[in-house]
Structure 1
Amino acid sequence: MNYKLPDIGADDLNLKSENERIIIYRKFFAEMRLNRLHYHNFLLKLFLGTNNQEEIRSLIQSNIIFLDKTLIWINRLKENGIYEGFKKACTEEMDAIEKIIQTYENRMNKGYEINK
């Protein structure tokens, strides 16, 4: 699983245009979605007996460490004056995820109605 935040210093994030930063943020969000699928896969393997609880606990601990790093990273975005662009990208991502959730819920509800 990838727990890498976009590097504010090495990528010269401050020197990039807002559109370039948006692309970097979108890639970061895509990596987060991929990580959630990996986590789901880990849980399924636990259910099948091929992963153990310690592997899942380790994965959860990695998420906690990532959260701590994320809070520091967000503060750096704010300090560098580029947080508003990230906030805009977050809002766009939330809107897209909400549409995905609605699609899933609609499909699940229709599937349950057919099976009644």
Structure 2
Amino acid sequence: MRVLVSLAAASLVAIIVASPVAARTVRMETVVALGDRSEPSIKQALQEAFETSLRGAVAMGFSRMRVSGARVLPDSVVLATIATDEDEADDDQDLDQGTLRESLRKTM
């Protein structure tokens, strides 16, 4: 009986200690008002939306963020991003405001 109890206790400890850690992922949409529909206004609104999303992701403790889409509406810009703390095998970069800001500039 002692052997059975010891095995059960060891199994329980192994399950608790070796439990997988689930990565957190969140999809965010940031809306910024447009003054007009000129290209500089759209770029400025996208930059502001990106920086707002980045600050939110950092505040929530996420280590990675990527842009999943952007829409220009008649009076606003909507930027969709996905933030995660999951380590990915692809070429995504860790959150670094300078690097991410530079990547955004290259896409505009």
TM-score by length of 2: 0.30
Whichever of the two has the greater Rg, that structure is 2
TM-score by length of 1: 0.28
Which of the pair is proportionally richer in strand?
Answer: 2
Which of the pair is proportionally richer in helix?
Answer: 1
